[in-house]
Amino acid sequence: MDKKNLRKLRNEDNNPCIDESNASQQCMNVNSYDKNMCTNYFLRYKSCRKYWQNIMVQRRREGVKPDMPTAAERQEMIAAIGEKPY
């Protein structure tokens, strides 16, 4: 992966699941890369990606720009719900 793509993935405005990604990576590091020990982290990351992908598709259909809400908008959306919906 080149540096440009890596920066994009690490940008909070582009990647709504950075926390979940970091948690799963940390779990892998702590557990000597035993994937079975980190299943819950992987499922949470997958649920996060699925949730925000659905939001992005909905916004695209409605003509809302940008397709992905900014990090600040996402925090407001989560605060309105009361907790992360995934």
CB 79, CB 41: distance < 8 Å: no
Would you say residue 7 lies in a domain? no
Alpha-carbon span 76 to 28, nearest angstrom: 30
Largest CA distance in the chain: 45
Q: Over the chain, what is the mean pLDDT?
A: 92
What is the pLDDT confidence band of residue 12, given thresholds at 50, 70 and 90? confident
Would you say residue 4 lies in a domain? no
Stated pTM of the model: 0.83
DSSP reduced 3-state for 44: helix
Which has more confidence, 35 or 13? Answer: 35
What range defines the domain where residue 23 resides? Answer: 17-81
Would you say residue 23 lies in a domain? yes
**Helix, strand, coil distribution of the chain in percent, nearest 5:** 70, 0, 30
Q: pLDDT over 90 for what percent of the chain?
A: 81
Would you say residue 39 lies in a domain? yes
